Amino acid sequence: MTRATTAAMPNTLGQSHERSVRGLAKAFAALRSIFKGMFDPYRPELHYMRGPGPKWHEKHGHAGPIGR
């Protein structure tokens, strides 16, 4: 009789545990993202391109900006 009763009842403790584990995983993922952003050595603003270079101008037959 006990088995039938426990089998019919929802396992609220298990669901609660799953939610807390998911919550912790999300919190750790957020912290990891923050730390990665703070200590990531890649800085794209140091590597931006200013525009087409001489090879592009040579290939496309363009001498430079209009007005030169």
Q: What is the pLDDT of residues 10-54, one digit of tens each?
A: 555 567 778 888 999 999 999 998 988 888 788 777 777 788 888
Give the CA diameter of the chain: 94
Highest mean pLDDT among 3-7, 31-35, 63-67: 31-35
Find the mean pLDDT for residues 54-58: 88
Looking at per-residue pLDDT, the higher value among 7 and 25 belongs to 25
22 half-sphere exposure, CB direction, 13 A CA radius? 6
Structure tokens at 30: 């957020």
Residue 5 has a pLDDT of 52
Question: What is the number of structural domains in the chain?
Answer: 1
Highest mean pLDDT among 3-7, 25-29, 47-51, 59-63: 25-29
The answer as to whether 32 is a domain residue is yes
Domain with 27 in it: 19-60
The answer as to whether 7 is a domain residue is no
- 60 Cβ neighbours under 8 A, 6+ residues apart: 52
The answer as to whether 37 is a domain residue is yes
How many residues belong to the chain? 68
